[in-house]
């Protein structure tokens, strides 16, 4: 995947699934920002996919300039 395509996919996923996420907003309210962030990166399937895309972006960024 090219760098721009990965960035677009990340942006689309965050816009579609993360903005306005009820679980994230409720966790922020009940347990704080850190707990909500921890949930997103550890337990959310969208967060897991975003992490994967981030790793792919790092690979592209270090292997070639786009």
Instruction: Give the model's confidence band at 61: pLDDT under 50 very low, under 70 low, under 90 confident, else very high.
Output: confident
What is residue 63's predicted lDDT score, i.e. its pLDDT? 62
Share of the chain above pLDDT 70, in %: 92
What is residue 62's predicted lDDT score, i.e. its pLDDT? 72
Q: What is the mean pLDDT of residues 52-60?
A: 93
In the predicted model, is pLDDT for residue 66 greater than 80? no
Q: Residue 49 to residues 15, 36, 64: CA-CA distances in angstroms?
A: 14, 17, 23
């Amino acid at each position: 995947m090219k760098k721009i395509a990965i960035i677009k996919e990340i942006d689309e996923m965050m816009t579609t699934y993360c903005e306005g996420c009820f679980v994230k907003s409720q966790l922020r309210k009940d347990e704080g920002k850190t707990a909500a962030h921890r949930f997103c990166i550890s337990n959310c399937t969208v967060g897991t996919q975003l992490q994967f895309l981030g790793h792919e972006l790092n690979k592209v960024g270090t292997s070639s300039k786009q």
